[in-house]
Structure 1
Amino acid sequence: MPFRYRLQKVIDFRIRKKEEQLQVVQKAQEAVDLAQANIDKNNEEIQNTKHAMYTSPPIMREGFDIFLKHLYEKGQILEQEKQKVVDILNQEKKKLQELEQAVKVLEKHKEKSREAYIEEEKKAELKNLSEIAVQKHFINTRNKKEELEYEEMLQQYLDNQNDYGNYE
């Protein structure tokens, strides 16, 4: 009978959960990348505004200062949002590691169970072969004993025939 792991459904379930969690981690990573792209876009806008401010007439610089202040505040908000998304990503990665660990534990248990099963099968086969060997030995011994008895009887018969022939 082939090896059947009785917790295979549990392993399959945990693998499925791990794959789902991996997708969640990928989405969280995409959110982090998007947040970083927004920060980079804001920083680029700050640089463009600074460059435009230095090339503009002095009357417009107050408006640029207000706009730059707004961009810096927006940058801080974007950094806070990115930090929240990074925290979420770290939590999801931690969950993924726990799920991977659970799968590894069961797979290791499955492998040990499989090895134990193979060992039991080997022992059963050796026992069966041992019983067959004992039976063959018993049959061979019995056959040799019968053969020796037959030879002794034949020898006695021949001896009796020779003895009988000598009396006549």
Structure 2
Amino acid sequence: MPFRYRLQKILDFRIRKKEEQLQNVRNAQALVLKIEGLIDRNNKEIAATRTNMRQADFSMYEAYDNYLKHLYVKGENLEADRQKAQEALDEEKDKLRELEKAVKVLEKHKEHSKEAYIEEEKKAELKQLSEVAIQKYFAKTRQQQEEELQELLKNPLYNDQSNEGITPQ
């Protein structure tokens, strides 16, 4: 009979949950990368605006200043969003580690159960082979005893001695 792990459904469930959590981690990483891309784009926009401000007319300085303030506020907001996304990513990674640990525990248990099953099967096979060997030994011994008895019965000396001891009445 092949090995069947009695907790296989639970192991499969935990593996499925781990895969779902891995996807959540990937999504959180993608969000962090997206926000970092927006931050980079905002920083480039700030640099370009400063360069354009230097070449602009004096009457446009106030408009450039207001736009730069807007970009700085936007950058601060994006940085706050990135920190929140990073915290969410860290939480998702912690959850993933816990799920991986649970899967590893069950896989280790499955491995030990399989080793115990194999050991038990070997013992049962050895016991069966031992019983067969004992049966063969006793059958062979009985056959030898029967052959010896047949030889004794064929021996004329034995027959004479056995007849002398028996007297007919």
| Partner SS for 2:4 | coil
Q: Output the CA distance in 1 between the equivalents of 2:97 and 2:158.
A: 89
- Residue equivalent to 1:107: 107
Structure 2 matches for 1:15-54, cutoff 5 A?
15-54=15-54
**2:127 is aligned with 1:127:** yes
Q: Output the CA distance in 2 between the equivalents of 1:16 and 1:157.
A: 86
Q: Show CA shifts across 1:78-112 (max 9, x none).
A: 00100000000010011011101101100110111
Which structure 2 residue ranges, 5 or more long, are not aligned?
Answer: 161-169
- Residue equivalent to 2:167: none
Q: Output the CA distance in 1 between the equivalents of 2:156 and 2:22.
A: 90
Q: Output the CA distance in 2 between the equivalents of 1:149 and 1:156.
A: 13
Q: Output the CA distance in 2 between the equivalents of 1:58 and 1:11.
A: 70
- Residue equivalent to 2:74: 74
Q: Output the CA distance in 2 between the equivalents of 1:145 and 1:39.
A: 99
Identity within the alignment, %: 57
- Residue equivalent to 1:91: 91
Which structure 1 residue ranges, 5 or more long, are not aligned?
Answer: 161-168
| Partner SS for 1:5 | coil
Report the aligned-residue RMSD: 1.5
Count of aligned residue pairs for this structure pair: 160
Flag as ranges the 4+ runs of structure 1 deviating above 4 A.
157-160
Q: Output the CA distance in 1 between the equivalents of 2:121 and 2:143.
A: 32
**8 Å contact from structure 2 (residues 38, 78) kept in 1:** yes
Q: Show CA shifts across 1:116-142 (max 9, x none).
A: 011111101110110000000000111
- Residue equivalent to 1:156: 156
Q: CA deviation at 1:159?
A: 8.4
TM-score (norm 2): 0.89
Q: CA deviation at 1:157?
A: 5.7
TM-score (norm 1): 0.90
- Residue equivalent to 2:142: 142
Higher mean alpha-carbon deviation, 9-18 vs 52-61, is at: 52-61
